[in-house]
Structure 1
Amino acid sequence: MLTATTLSDAPGCPLLILGSSVGTSVETLWPAAVGRLYGRYHVVGFDLPGHGRSAPASEPFTIGDLAREVVALADRIRPDTSFLYAGDSIGGAIGLQLLLDFPERVSAAALLCTGARIGEPAMWRERAALVRAGGVEPVVAGSRERWFAPGTDPAVTEPLIGALRATDPESYARACEALALFDVRDRLPEIAAPVLAVAGALDGPTPPDGVALIASTVLAGRLVVLENVAHLAPAESPEVVAFLLDQHFDESRRAGITVRREVLGPAHVDRATAATTAFTRDFQDLITRYAWGEIWTRDGLARRDRSLITLTALIALGHHDELAMHVRAARTNGLSVDEIKEVILQTAIYCGVPAANTAFRIAQQVLAEEPR
């Protein structure tokens, strides 16, 4: 049985279950990110067999076995209700198995630094044999190199390395063998729940292309790649991970980020998200939730009409950086080059010739960048 640890006790809030990677524990990987979720979720993490608070494995197990244990854990908290799920590495693999085997139970999932297949089976069997022969110490140096981006603060790395050293070797070996058997690449199109796939740009064990495969193959996937992050994103970049979870798990925020990406382009929005700091997060949340989630999603005006209004307002107020961005958005929303020209001409009368002059210069630069 997996041992659960409550990280945020909020019984009236949505239930969020967290899974960790091989060699770590939920109490070393997730608390920094959970602490930035503002108490909006009832957060419960679980440790793999022989990891953290969980008892050692008494027999071999598969990723499917672990998924069933997670559902049993959820039933002990809130029987027969759906829950949110986030997991890193093998925790992400468990999340995929949950989405496939128990689709009615997982309302949305965030899969971090993971893959539909992770590594090669032979590699996992070799690592299992190494740990059985010499304990976990022979894998410490390699794990330190794989897990963290260069220059990661020791205050982040050392508790996680301590959790690895405290892991039961036989349980670690059996987790490796479970990953050797895991491959759900051909089943990804079956997954219908919203999936956020988060990759570390410096992640060697689960590189971004494998995470991208998940996002592009499930029915409702989004990929975000975090710069200067390796394999343990919740510990390496807790502010951004918390913000991404909040965007994904709250329906109004998820609607806002969907429209924002459709209008402004995924690359622009995901760069802004990945650059979020504690100082800017609330502002980014304000934009996503209210500007995009409540205004741009309304049925009263078509998106092309909202672009017309937005261009006019930005020209009138002299917001030139935003104007360049929204000229691109206007093209996405169906405005022709001639229609954009007409908008700027109209503003010359009602907003002033100098404002329109600057707007023409900015728009011409943006439109010149369009592919021919």
Structure 2
Amino acid sequence: MTIPTVTGVHLGGSAALPLLVCGPSLGTSAVALWSQAADLLREHFHIMAWDLPGHGNNRGEVADSFTMAELADGVQAFVDSVLADRGESDDSYVYAGVSVGGAVGLRLLLDQPDRITTAVLACTAARIGDEQMWRDRAAMVRSNGTSTVVEASTRRWFAPGFTDRHPEVAAALLHSLMATDTDGYTAVCEALAAFDLRGDLSRIRTPIVALAGAYDVATPVSAMAELAHGVVNGRLVVLDRASHLAPAEAPADVANTIIEAAGIRAASPGYERASGRAEETAPQVVSTLADRRAAGMAVRRAVLGDAHVDRATANATDLTREFQEFITDYAWGGVWTRPGLDRRSRSMIVLTALIARGHHEELAMHLRAARTNGLTDDEIKELILQSAIYCGVPDANTAFRIAAQTLTAEPEGNTAR
């Protein structure tokens, strides 16, 4: 049995506060991934985050190979040392982990079920990817280093537009990836290749929040739903504007979720403001019809803008109100929240369909929405040019006229939806 050495870093909070242990994603450091969320948690928790072998501050010799169960044993040994320093023995703690850190959390919940009081497991799954994918990635990194996975990781880690809005956060995370030891990265890949706890989820009774990113393709919402509904006491929360690294992309929402899960106090709206990121929204639970409507309204506001939705709501009549609710429930809540396509792709599909069908009033509204979803004017131009071939030159001509008017004008227009 090989128990890898796991080391950690203190990210804030007094040792007199409850212990929160934070786990990383493959290729990240604890500091780069968790610091911003920790700034919002330090008054509630003593925060200790751990680094994977060969990652971050964990620069000791890396074991040739280890399993996820052995990695979890290494994490528990680290936690026990922290508890000993706090003057506690075999005491309990709150756990939050991302991706492989979340997978380790599942293993800990199975092996020592009484130690963790509650867990927030973000952007993870009981089975992440498949064996051959991890074997292939390990072989590639072993041969060429971690720089070879930077481009793919950038696409996988961040929701559309995040790197432009927060270049310093993205740069710190990508730097931690490039600085990761090759042996450490490949050893974790090999461990993940054999990891599969889907058949064991029903044994986990600890309260769990499965925190999913709506744009996450590595561990999509469907996989997080499988986790949330597979354990005895699970809850699914979807972060509307996050992909695979939720604590860095949506630190306020993650902090709020951890605070709520731990039962310290109700979530505070101030956390959205504290992060300084106006685009972040409250986490959405998407498990009931009411939740779907709430999620749909959140996406509708994010895509069309508060002013537009407020006008539409104010202008609703007895004749149109139920139709608005129908659109919010089934279009925005039922389709736009699905993880299979990102919002840029959905905007391109909608624009093409509206051009083809001649829905010109809707086209103006969705041209503005496409910008919000990250499409550039040049990309919109290319989309309309292509529609000239497949939909017809007259349709494209009209679309160009509407685009020229809409994209240079102040937001206004249709309030029907």
TM-score for both structures, normalised by structure 1: 0.70
- Kindly tell me: are residues 261 and 156 of structure 1, through their superposed partners in 2, closer, same or farther at Cα, counting changes over 3 Å? closer
Are 2:91 and 1:70 aligned?
Answer: no
Deviations 1:348-367 (A, max 9, x none): xxxxxxxxxxxxx89x979x
- 2:104 is equivalent to residue 98 of structure 1: no
The AA in structure 2 aligned to 1:236 is E
CA distance in 1: counterparts of 2:229 and 2:299, whole angstroms: 19
Q: Which residues in structure 2 correspond to 1:303-318 (within 5 Å)?
A: none
1:144 to 140, 154, 164: 154
In structure 2, C-alpha distance between the alignment counterparts of 1:82 and 1:121, rounded to whole Å: 33
1:111 has 2:124 as partner:
no
* Equivalent residue number for residue 225 of structure 1: 238
Which residue of structure 2 aligns with residue 132 of structure 1? Answer: 142
Matches within 5 A, 1:256-295: 265-267=290-292
Report the equivalent of 2:397. Answer: none
Instruction: Check conservation: 2:68, 2:192, Cα contact below 8 A.
Output: yes
Query: Which residue of the partner structure matches residue 52 of structure 1?
Result: 56
Change (3 A) 1:47 1:92: same
Cα root mean square deviation, aligned? 3.1
Q: Distance in 2 between matches of 1:264 and 1:90?
A: 31
> 2:214 — aligned with what?
201
In structure 2, relative to structure 1, the CA distance for the partners of 1:36 and 1:2 (3 Å cut) is same
Letter in 2 for 1:136: T
| In 1, Cα distance between equivalents of 2:93 and 2:286 | 26
One-letter amino acid of the structure 1 residue matched with residue 138 of structure 2 = A
Task: Please give the alpha-carbon distance, in whole angstroms, between the structure 2 residues aligned to 1:97 and 1:58.
Answer: 19
Q: What is the deviation of 1:158? A: 0.4
Work out whether residues 240 and 274 of structure 1, in 8 Å CA contact, stay in contact via their aligned partners in 2.
no
Confirm or deny: 8 A CA contact 2:259 2:265 kept in the other structure.
no
Matched residue of 2:43: which SS?
coil
The match for 1:171 among 172, 184, 193 is 184
Distance in 2 (CA, whole Å) between partners of 1:246 and 1:270 is 21
Amino acid at match of 2:132: A
Q: Distance in 2 between matches of 1:109 and 1:27?
A: 20
CA contact (8 A) 2:159 2:241 kept: yes
The one of 9, 12, 15 aligned to 1:11: 15
Q: Name the counterpart of 1:184.
A: 197
Looking at structure 2, the residues matched to 182 and 71 of structure 1 have their Cα atoms a distance apart, in angstroms, of 18
Does 1:31 find its partner at 2:35?
A: yes
Q: What's the % identity of the aligned pairs?
A: 42
Give CA-to-partner distance per residue, 1:238-261, whole Å, 9 cap, x none: 11111111111125549xxxxx99
Secondary structure of the corresponding residue to residue 167 of structure 1: coil
SS in 1 for 2:40: coil
Post-superposition offset of 1:59: 2.3
Q: Provide the C-alpha distance between the structure 2 equivalents of 1:262 and 1:140, rounded to a whole number of angstroms.
A: 35
Question: Aligned equivalents of 1:195 and 1:36: distance in 2?
Answer: 21
State the Cα distance separating 1:262 from its structure 2 match: 11
Measured in 2, the distance between the counterparts of 1:183 and 1:173 equals: 18
**Native 8 Å contact 1:224 1:270 kept in 2:** no
Whether the 8 Å CA contact 1:240–1:273 is kept in 2: the answer is no
Give the aligned length.
284
Residue type of the partner of 2:199? D
Q: Distance in 1 between matches of 2:125 and 2:19?
A: 24
Is the 1:92–1:115 contact (alpha carbons within 8 Å) kept by the matching residues of 2? yes
Letter of the 2:9 partner, please give it: T
Are 1:159 and 2:172 an aligned pair?
yes
Contact kept in structure 1, 2:29 and 2:55, CA below 8 Å: yes
Paired amino acid for 1:81 = D
Corresponding residue of 1:89: 99
Find the aligned partners of 1:39 and 1:94 in 2 and give their Cα distance: 26
Q: Kindly tell me: are residues 81 and 272 of structure 1, through their superposed partners in 2, closer, same or farther at Cα, counting changes over 3 Å? A: farther
Q: Is the 8 A contact 1:61 1:174 kept in 2?
A: yes
1:144-174 superposed Cα distances (whole Å, 9 cap, x missing partner): 1111112112111100000000000011001
Task: Note if contact 1:56-1:168 (Cα within 8 Å) is conserved in structure 2.
Answer: no
- Would the aligned equivalents of 2:13 and 2:42 in 1 still touch at CA under 8 Å? no
Give yes or no for contact 1:226–1:274 (8 Å, CA) kept in 2: no
